Amino acid sequence: MPLTPDQLAETEALRATPRPTLRAVAPGMEAHLYRPIPVLDHGFVRVVDYMGDDAAICQAARVSYGRGTKSVQGDEGLIRYLMRHWHSTPFEMCEVKLHVKLPMFVARQWIRHRTANVNEYSARYSILDREFYIPDPSSLAAQSSVNNQGRGETLTNDEAARVLDWLKGDAARAYDHYEAMISQEGQQGLARELARMNLPANIYTQWYWKVDLHNLFHFLRLRADSHAQYEIRVYAEAICTVVRDWVPHAWAAFEDYRLGGLTLSARAAALLRRRLAGEVVAFEDSGLSRGEWREFVEEWGEQPPLTPS
């Protein structure tokens, strides 16, 4: 289960004892505070603490006294301007601290985003739980033939069943040996910091992850993208639901200019101008590499040949 009964009880106790404050609060985030959002089979994301809201972004941009709010419409326009022109520091005035439970191999991807503060559950001092990520059969796919980092066709029922048997069996066997190494009857068990090296990468770990909004947006732009690995993408999508409620104006601008926007190289922009001018441009005279051409066509479509007038 994502949370133990004790953790659930603690969460309910925290939510049952609100505290008065003079600092700015975001009603949308208050609704999420402490509540876990289930992810994968045993994971979750939950907000532990946060600072700032849409008004804090505008306050920093205007460097004014108090909350800095001119008007709701003015704040929204200012935030869109900041996002559109890549002014990042005002977004750094907002921070969030998340408690995340995730498979170890997802954590190793996640930690590549280094502009955050992390404190992870330590298997040197504590014993990891017998919880492993076992994918749904629909998530089991072959290696992509065109993308070295991606998945291709979904495995057939028989192939998927065989892979699932291996995943479950190997995880259980590794954990049995882990337990045996640290608790040998009548003998001194192996140190936990050594015994953990035999555990599989699909075992669950937990951490607290604190990040400012600017760097969180960078994380979400990469990890909530359809090309991101499914197992980290679902965590990013869960965080997206939190951010949408926390800073709605900033989220709308981010969704418009980053998630839904496109970035063109100088060569691709020149190619698009040629097409808009009515020129039929083939790959051979596009000036793009094959990979760039494939991505360009994916976004802008094939160009139909000109028909004689």
Report, as residue numbers or ranges, the catalytic residues.
223
**Between β-strands 117-120 and 37-39, what pairing exists: parallel, antiparallel or unpaired?**
unpaired
- Classified as helix, coil or strand, 225 is coil
Distances (CA, A) of 148 to 39, 142, 212: 26, 11, 32
Q: In b/e form, how buried is each residue of 216-246, taking b as 16+ CB within 10 angstroms?
A: bbbbbeebbeeebeebbbbbbbbbbebbebb
* Cα separation, 272 vs 252, whole angstroms: 27
The two tokens of residue 94 are 């907002």
> Please, are residues 130 and 42 in contact by the beta-carbon 8 Å criterion?
no
Edge-first strand listing for the sheet containing 117-120? 37-39, 43-51, 95-103, 204-212, 117-120
Host H or E run for residue 300: helix 290-300
CA nearest 212: which of 256, 260, 250?
Answer: 250
* Cα separation, 269 vs 277, whole angstroms: 12
* Cα separation, 10 vs 48, whole angstroms: 12
For residue 17, the 8-state DSSP code is: S
